[in-house]
Amino acid sequence: MQKILVCIKRVVDYNVRIRVKPDGSGVMLDGVKMSVNPFDEIALEEALRIKERLGNVEVVAVSIGVGETQQQLRTALAMGADRAILVQTDAAVEPLNAAQVFLALAKKENPDLIFLGKQAIDDDANQTGQMLAALWDRPQATFASKVELSDAKAQVTREVDAGLETIEVDLPAVMTVDLRLNEPRYVKLPDIMKAKKKPLDVTTLEALGVSHGVFLKAVKTEPPAQRQKGIMVKDVAELVGVLKKKGLI
């Protein structure tokens, strides 16, 4: 194990209550707090723990996005990544395109492992890791809740609908992480200072030989339908009465 790539996305912070633009062209992003996608933080944390356990492993944080994405990569460096690469573009990058970019980086960097969050909390697509694994022609272990490495293999416990499933994959491999894999560390001030000196390379889609593609055109964005306001009952007897009347119990 020599190198781990961790793919990071800049997204609207988990705690922000997003609002849809009145003209239906998207969601309001002006002045909204942006953060590292929470699942990607877990992905990075796992890479850092492997590095701390095995030593001599380089952890590279990579991202695609606007210039300000450097902030999120600096956070990754402060958490403990050794260096970072930003593929800078102002265009929206869909999962297939992102996978093509990460493939280009994988071919350049030759990592043993690539970690990603299982989904980004903005588009909720849950695609990029699987697509990257397919394009790279390597194994995928999605929704990982436990990762055990041995030689050139890994045993991964996955969170599936029925419970837990364990698979074994040869390395190099792509892993997408689920919530309960670990709890990411907090960044301390000295680490933020140290992170400023770590290398952060900026490159472009063109330099990587990837063309920007629009595969799905967003026609319109709307707020969800609201549920009708309900009723309050005063006690259990009344509750049971209402539910029986509706034929629910």
Site for another protein in 107-166 (CB under 8 A): 118-119, 121-135, 137-140, 142-143, 145, 155, 158-166
Q: Is 76 in the site for another protein (CB under 8 A)?
A: no
Q: How far apart are CA 45 and CA 66, in angstroms?
A: 24
Smallest separation, CB 139 to another protein (Å):
4
Name, in order, each residue with C-beta under 8 angstroms of 76's C-beta and a sequence gap of 6 or more. 6, 8, 36, 44, 61, 84
Stretch that binds another protein, among 52-60, 76-84, 186-194, 212-220 (CB under 8 A): 212-220
For the purposes of burial, counting CB atoms within 10 Å of the CB of 125, is it exposed (0-12), middle (13-18) or buried (19 or more)?
middle
Residue 80 Cα to chain centre, angstroms: 17
Q: Is 216 in the site for another protein (CB under 8 A)?
A: yes
SS3 assignment, position 51: helix
| Binding letters toward another protein, positions 168-197, x by CB under 8 A | xxx--x----xxx-----------------
- CB closer to another protein, 12 vs 78: 12
Give the pairing of strands 153-160 and 140-150.
antiparallel
Q: Is 232 in the site for another protein (CB under 8 A)?
A: yes
- CB closer to another protein, 130 vs 203: 130
- CB closer to another protein, 178 vs 200: 178
DSSP category for residue 82: S
Smallest separation, CB 12 to another protein (Å):
7
Q: How far apart are CA 47 and CA 182, in angstroms?
A: 11
Stretch that binds another protein, among 20-28, 54-62, 75-83, 196-204 (CB under 8 A): 20-28
Whether the CB-CB separation of 78 and 185 falls below 8 Å is answered with no
Stretch that binds another protein, among 60-68, 94-102, 107-115, 186-194 (CB under 8 A): 94-102
* C-alpha distance from residue 5 to each of 112, 137, 217, 222, 237 (Å): 8, 16, 30, 36, 58
Smallest separation, CB 195 to another protein (Å):
28
